[in-house]
Amino acid sequence: MRLRNPKNKDEILKNSKILLDSSKPLCLKEIFQNDNEINLEIGMGKGDFILQMAQKYPNKNFVGVEKFDGVICKAIKKLEEYNLLNIRLIRSDAVDLEKIINKEINTIYLNFSDPWLKKRYHKRRLTHINQLKTYDKLFKNKKHIIFKTDNIELFNDSILYLEEYGYKIIKISYDLHNENLENFETEYEKKFSNLGFKINYLEAIKK
């Protein structure tokens, strides 16, 4: 759900210590000032997922991408309270990421992306082949995608997209919360799970 823009939106965005200037190409290695792996969550929402990941794995770097100002402002306010050095944020649409990031990403996380259920909008899905082509330009070496959704139609279609594009599914679950897999819940995941929805999960790689 898109949040309304706060009245002090411009101030929050301008003064943020973790929001990167995405108007030009970035060198994330220089920004983090280390050689640790860099992982990207596209459509991060309010930031619950990358916050948990960054806390659990201080020797890994995490970048959250969100295109809506109201949402990213909420994430900035939350994440900056923790003063974590291994988190940065980018305000951008997924289709523009290839202009910002160049071959630095180890893993892409896609959590509860918009399912775009009408067929004419399927190309907007973050797992669609059109987007997978964009991600090729972001990955450092081997391609590695981890995807979660409550929407079974999107999930099954995403399996087809990934396999058609040459990815190999190495882990899959149609009921993640009843599996013995490490999992960090997003805010949407908690909501959907509490409503009785099963969470679908997959991990895919491509050389």
What the block records as the tokens of 141 is: 């070496």
DSSP letter (8 states) at residue 116: -
Active site residues: 114
56 contacts 184 by C-beta, under 8 angstroms: yes
Edge-first strand listing for the sheet containing 143-149:
87-91, 61-66, 38-42, 107-111, 143-149, 200-206, 168-173
Q: Is 58 exposed, middle or buried (0-12, 13-18, 19+ CB in 10 A)?
A: exposed
Contacts of 42 (CB under 8 A, 6+ apart): 65, 94, 97, 108, 109, 110, 113, 126
